[in-house]
Amino acid sequence: MATCRATRKDGERCRAEAQSGRDYCFFHDPAKGEERHDSKVAGGKAGKLATLATVKPWRGVAGEVDVLKAVTPVELVDLLCNTIDDVRTGAIDPKVANAVGYLAGVIVKIQEQEALVERLSAIEEALKARG
């Protein structure tokens, strides 16, 4: 395939492949200016941060969630199951679900640390009472 005939800003010739039946690549083709602009606009919209609405109760209308407070392991499992369902039905972006899963894992690790600290404190108190 032929290479693009355009000259880049640095003075070098563009090394991209020309479009089929054309002298220029997509980025340098003068006839594709509007299409390039539309692609940039669409890309900008696609890159927006995907979020969920915040309402009460915790699970009301599909896709709407309450701000989480301290959660139990059962509530975390419920949150993850709902998140999975929301991804499967297209209610939320998989990027949001990925973040929810990661943060749920962080919460579990913090809870495990807290439980370990409590157990160690109880053991220390028991040893002090003996001694």
Beta strand 53-54 with 64-65 is parallel
DSSP state of 17: B
**Which phi and psi (to 5°) does residue 51 adopt?**
-135, 170
DSSP string, 28-68: T-GGGHHHHHHHHHHHHHHTSPP--EE-SSTB-STTEEPPP
Give pLDDT tens digits for 47-82: 565 566 554 444 544 555 566 777 888 889 998 998
- Domain range summary for the chain, segments of one domain joined by +: 1-48, 53-130
Q: What percent of the chain has pLDDT over 90?
A: 49
Give pLDDT tens digits for 30-55: 998 888 888 888 766 665 655 665 54
Mean pLDDT of the chain: 83
